[in-house]
Homo-oligomer: A and B are copies of this chain.
Amino acid sequence: MRIAQVAPLAEAVPPKLYGGTERVVSWLTEELVRQGHDVTLFASGDSRTSAKLVPCVPQALRLAGIRDHIASHLVMLNEVRARADQFDVIHFHVDLLQHVLFQNVAHKCLTTLHGRLDLPDYMPVFRTFNEMPLVSISDSQRAPMPPGVNWLATVHHGLPSSVCPFHEEGGEYLAFLGRIAPEKRPDRAIRIATQARIPLKIAAKVDPADQAYYEEVVAPLLDHPLVEFVGEIDENAKCDFLGHARALLFPIDWPEPFGLVMIEAMSAGTPVIAFRNGSVPEVITDGISGFIVESVDEAVAAARQVGTLSRRGVRQAFEHRFTTERMASDYVKAYEALLVRDHANVLPLVAAE
């Protein structure tokens, strides 16, 4: 199949530092190439891929210091549109602009929505251009969307099996990994660990926007013998950090659309203790790959008994449902469904002649 992957330009594919979307685009692209598809990647010029790269800006925008990304995305999408005839399927990983620009080739387009959808700002586009095929990254992500949009599939993210290798033995500490942000509830993680009397390691960055929250809410809680603030860690250190943990705490307080860190932990064999919110019930199998809880007390109980779960069973749950092979295969099915729909749309016209 001739497939275009259209990545955001904020980060390189794969990203040099952070960038969940760009990491997923990279994994999907490489797996589709490996499966023999003819893949073209529209992305920043500092991307690395075994697909054909169409560099749309010399360097990823965030590290280049470009703050308004719209112009660069418009130019990229114009380039994609100029080449639309060369592809069977055009797969967008950007949010908005393509819905307007690709109306006349909507039948071969699909967009994976990577972000939260519970903000009113984007809704006018989804309501107006509702013929554009959409893919959600969890079923729960769809909840705030208007009725009548053209859902094609839910495709959960996948992770290459080798990225976070399996650790037969976990460790003693609970792990909190990600950003220090109110919706991630690091304060809740600290309460869970101290009540359960189990050590907690927090590996997290503090964005400038969250500095005040860090200083006012989180920093005062860090002064506890069971709590260690490790700071920001890189991708390699991350898998070690997860692999050596007793469990990952994921005490979120917002409708997380997917939550890559959950499957990274599962890949390492580390179970996840997660609050029931957003994608959590779709990712975690309660009692197998972790525990789904609804209160701090439940989380404390889960943290005490999490050692009874089989780490091999956690890894198997990952291998069964969250590898890149499974993700790519789901997307190929979605592409094929598009082509069939397209064909179905064309047939009556032919028959009417």
**The one of B74, B101, B119, B120 that contacts A124, using a Cβ cutoff of 8 Å:** B74
Q: Is the CB of A75 within 8 A of B124?
A: yes
A residues 58-86 near B (Cβ < 8 Å) are 66-72, 74-75, 77-78
Instruction: Give complex CA distance A124, B75 in Å.
Output: 7
Interface set, chain A 153-169, CB cutoff 8 A to B: none
**Cα–Cα, bound, A129→B101 (Å):** 14
B57 x A124 contact (CB < 8 A): yes
Interface on A for B, CB 8 Å cutoff?
57, 66-72, 74-75, 77-78, 96-97, 99-101, 119-125, 128-129
Q: In the complex, which residue of chain B has the Cβ closest to the Cβ of A77?
A: B100
Q: How far is the CB of A94 from chain B (nearest CB, A)?
A: 11
Q: How far is the CB of A149 from chain B (nearest CB, A)?
A: 13
Q: What is the CB-to-nearest-CB distance from A114 to chain B, in angstroms, rounded to a whole number? A: 15
> Which of the listed residues A57, A70, A71, A119 has the most CB atoms from chain B within 10 Å of its own CB?
A71
- Whether A125 contacts B67 by the Cβ 8 Å rule is no
Which chain B positions have C-beta within 8 A of A74?
96-97, 99-100, 124-125, 128
Q: Which residues of B contact A68 (CB under 8 A)?
A: 119, 121-122
Q: Select from chain B the residue with minimum beta-carbon distance to A121.
A: B68
Closest residue of chain B to A120 (Cβ to Cβ) is B66
